[in-house]
């Protein structure tokens, strides 16, 4: 919903004296301004706020009787409100923590329910407005509460904010800078956007290319502070994968849609939903996610699903909901759910049964969202093991494609050696690398990560011996190297059984 529509709807609910509205918003400020504005428009004379830091305060109008109710006195504060005779709005700031962390929380939830009943049945002239960055409504009042999901500022709104800012400060910006500025500011709240623009202006007296870098690095930090998302914006040219041809071709194809999103929309082309990679550890699943962001030229958000499985009941879904909301706000984007099997390993503190119940809910939420999502968020899910992943997740139609990432073929090892040597600015002739690969027996399997480890060690050896790395160091390291396929021989069969069972496309 757009901000204007939300305002309209809120105004109508307040006019109709609906007892309770919950604003699920990226920041409080914008909602507060909207409520103040609506109170003025409707001529409502009393507005109160309640939060865990300040207790009950009068925001608009005069109330001599309002006391400094401490945070443990929420019930008394509510009793005071019950005595009001004039129409008043009461805003609960940080509602989720009021409900979850208040020592008086059980009793206060009951009092809230009673108040709602009195509003409905006895015409108590109050309206309860909850504002929170998290969505957590007590069951007692859920049915009577309207939820307003306030999105992050839209691209149009950000554009408006940039225009206002530029005008206000009498600065000029180049047309091409406008788009990059706009892109860099998505996923931030209104006040964060305003702060960023001020910081950029203060640092250079103008908005320029440097501003974009400042904003992106600040944004990375803001997102990381949330705890379970990492915003990866920097395209690392060093990220190259050898082998994996089938996957790379497939992704290159899909990238054409993301790179031409405007025309794709015009021609009613469905946006690619996502891809699911599962397979042998160290064969390039995570690497492929990073490469895809560069290829599609859109930001990558890495979701730490292990962390998402929070401690409190309901917390995990809340965290996931927030992650998705953010990914949508910076769309087109890639939501990379790395090591998705962690959502199944009883990762909650309770473990056992509770863990699996949370997993079911998390997967349910994810599946529904994937089915219904409208924003161009490409889901990049990766897993080592799909043994416990619910079959619905694997069903065709959720993802555009599921790939099994196998050991690279022997022919591709040369290319992978080359990539890792080049990454470290070392060059060996094609013949030298051939000689190294020839040392590997036909049936022996090496992962990309194995190859990288061999290169790293050989370069270190050469450095210690004060020489340049040659095929000799590589061959020497190779001789003593135990690849993953040997150390984990037993678990490998399981992978191939699963691939067969699910008929998954194999990528080598």
Q: Which is nearer to ligand ATP, 169 or 424 (CB)?
A: 424
Q: Does 243 bind ligand ATP (CB under 6 A)?
A: yes
Taking Cα atoms as reference points, which of 80, 136, 143, 134 lies closest to residue 116? 143
Taking Cα atoms as reference points, which of 134, 91, 141, 153 lies closest to residue 111? 141
Of 95, 207, 244, 330, the residue at the interface with ligand ATP (CB under 6 A) is 244
Q: Which is nearer to Mg ion, 90 or 451 (CB)?
A: 451
Q: Does 226 bind ligand ATP (CB under 6 A)?
A: no
Does an H or E element contain 8, and which?
A: helix 3-15
What is the rounded distance in angstroms from the CA atom of residue 195 to the CA atom of residue 187?
Answer: 14
Of 55, 138, 332, 408, the residue at the interface with ligand ATP (CB under 6 A) is 408
Contact 423, 238 (CB under 8 A): yes
In sequence order, the 6+-apart residues with CB closer than 8 A to the CB of 214 are 196, 199, 200, 203
Q: Does 283 bind ligand ATP (CB under 6 A)?
A: yes
Pick one of ligand ATP, Mg ion, none as the site partner of residue 284 (Cβ within 5 to 8 A by kind): ligand ATP
Q: Does 286 bind ligand ATP (CB under 6 A)?
A: yes
What is the rounded distance in angstroms from the CA atom of residue 119 to the CA atom of residue 129?
Answer: 13
Nearest distance, CB of residue 281 and ligand ATP, angstroms: 3
Taking Cα atoms as reference points, which of 273, 294, 285, 280 lies closest to residue 247? 285
Binding string, residues 364-383; x marks residues near ligand ATP by CB under 6 A = ------------------x-
Point out which span in 164-172, 242-250, 259-267, 437-445 binds ligand ATP (CB under 6 A).
242-250
Residue nearest to ligand ATP (CB): 448
Of 138, 153, 274, 282, the residue at the interface with ligand ATP (CB under 6 A) is 282
Q: Does 459 bind ligand ATP (CB under 6 A)?
A: no
Point out which span in 63-71, 257-265, 284-292, 497-505 binds ligand ATP (CB under 6 A).
284-292
Coil vs helix vs strand at 88: strand
Contact 381, 337 (CB under 8 A): yes
Q: What angle is formed at CA 185 by the lines to CA 276 and CA 202, rounded to 5 degrees?
A: 145
What is the rounded distance in angstroms from the CA atom of residue 155 to the CA atom of residue 3?
Answer: 12
Pick one of ligand ATP, Mg ion, none as the site partner of residue 385 (Cβ within 5 to 8 A by kind): none
Of 21, 78, 229, 416, the residue at the interface with ligand ATP (CB under 6 A) is 416
Number of residues forming the site for ligand ATP (CB under 6 A) = 19
Positions touching Mg ion (CB under 5 A) are: 285-286
Distances (CA, A) of 480 to 420, 442, 454, 476, 483: 19, 17, 10, 7, 10
Nearest distance, CB of residue 503 and ligand ATP, angstroms: 21
Pick one of Mg ion, ligand ATP, none as the site partner of residue 19 (Cβ within 5 to 8 A by kind): none
Nearest distance, CB of residue 382 and Mg ion, angstroms: 6
Taking Cα atoms as reference points, which of 394, 346, 389, 345 lies closest to residue 370? 394
Phi and psi torsions of 327, nearest 5°: -60, -40
Q: Does 337 bind ligand ATP (CB under 6 A)?
A: no
Of 19, 26, 187, 242, the residue at the interface with ligand ATP (CB under 6 A) is 242
- Dihedral sign for Cα atoms in the order 497, 498, 499, 501: positive
Q: Does 327 bind ligand ATP (CB under 6 A)?
A: no
What is the rounded distance in angstroms from the CA atom of residue 347 to the CA atom of residue 209?
Answer: 43
Strands 20-24 and 88-93: unpaired
Nearest distance, CB of residue 416 and ligand ATP, angstroms: 5
- In the region spanning residues 436 to 455, those forming contacts with ligand ATP, defined by CB under 6 A, are 448-449, 452
Q: Which is nearer to ligand ATP, 283 or 389 (CB)?
A: 283
Q: Which is nearer to Mg ion, 219 or 285 (CB)?
A: 285
Nearest distance, CB of residue 406 and ligand ATP, angstroms: 11
Number of neighbours of residue 215 by Cβ within 10 angstroms: 24
Residues at the contact surface with ligand ATP, assessed by CB under 6 A: 241-244, 281-287, 382, 384, 408, 416, 419, 448-449, 452
């Amino acid at each position: 919903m757009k901000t204007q529509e939300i305002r309209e709807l809120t105004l109508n609910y307040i006019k109709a004296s609906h007892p309770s509205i919950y604003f699920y918003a990226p920041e409080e400020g914008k909602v507060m301004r909207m409520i103040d504005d609506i109170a003025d428009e409707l001529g409502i004379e009393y507005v109160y706020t309640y939060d865990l830091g300040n207790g009950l305060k009068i925001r608009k109008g005069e109330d001599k009787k309002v006391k400094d109710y401490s945070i443990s006195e929420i019930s008394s504060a509510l009793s005071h409100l019950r005595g009001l005779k004039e129409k008043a709005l009461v805003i609960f700031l940080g509602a989720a923590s009021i409900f979850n962390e208040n020592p008086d929380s059980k009793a206060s939830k009951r009092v809230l329910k009673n108040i709602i009943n009195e509003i409905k049945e006895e015409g108590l002239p109050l309206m309860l407005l909850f504002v929170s960055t998290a969505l957590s409504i007590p069951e007692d009042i859920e049915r009577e509460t309207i939820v307003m999901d306030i999105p992050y500022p839209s691209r149009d709104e950000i554009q408006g904010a940039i225009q206002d800012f530029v005008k206000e400060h009498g600065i000029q910006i180049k047309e091409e800078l406008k788009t990059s500025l706009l892109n860099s500011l998505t996923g931030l709240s209104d006040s964060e956007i305003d702060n960023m623009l001020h910081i950029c202006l203060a640092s250079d007296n103008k908005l320029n290319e440097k501003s974009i870098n400042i904003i992106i690095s600040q944004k990375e930090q803001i997102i990381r502070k949330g705890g379970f998302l990492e915003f990866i914006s920097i395209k690392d040219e060093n990220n190259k994968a050898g082998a994996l041809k089938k996957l790379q071709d497939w992704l290159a194809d899909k990238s054409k849609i993301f790179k031409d999103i405007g025309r794709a929309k015009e021609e009613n082309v469905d946006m690619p939903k996502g891809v699911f990679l599962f397979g042998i550890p160290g064969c390039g699943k995570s690497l492929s996610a990073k490469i895809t962001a560069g290829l599609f030229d859109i930001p990558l958000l890495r979701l730490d699903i292990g962390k998402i499985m929070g401690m409190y009941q309901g917390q995990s879904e809340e965290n996931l909901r927030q992650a998705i909301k953010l990914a949508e706000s910076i769309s087109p984007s890639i939501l990379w759910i790395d090591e998705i099997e962690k959502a199944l390993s009883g990762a909650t503190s309770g473990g056992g049964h509770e863990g699996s119940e949370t997993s079911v809910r998390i997967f349910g939420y994810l599946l529904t969202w994937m089915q219904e999502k409208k924003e161009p968020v490409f889901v990049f899910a990766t897993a080592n093991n799909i043994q416990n992943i619910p079959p619905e997740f694997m069903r065709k139609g959720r993802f555009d494609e599921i790939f099994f990432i196998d050991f690279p073929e022997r022919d591709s090892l040369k290319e992978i050696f080359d990539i890792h040597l080049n990454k470290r600015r070392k060059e060996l002739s094609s013949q030298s690398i051939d000689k190294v690969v020839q040392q590997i027996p036909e049936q022996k399997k090496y992962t990309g990560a194995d190859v990288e480890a061999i290169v790293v060690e050989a370069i270190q050896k050469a450095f210690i011996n004060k020489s340049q790395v040659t095929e000799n160091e590589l061959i020497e390291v190779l001789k003593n190297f135990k690849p993953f396929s040997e150390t984990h021989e037993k678990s490998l069969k399981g992978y191939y059984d699963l691939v067969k069972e699910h008929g998954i496309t194999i990528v080598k």
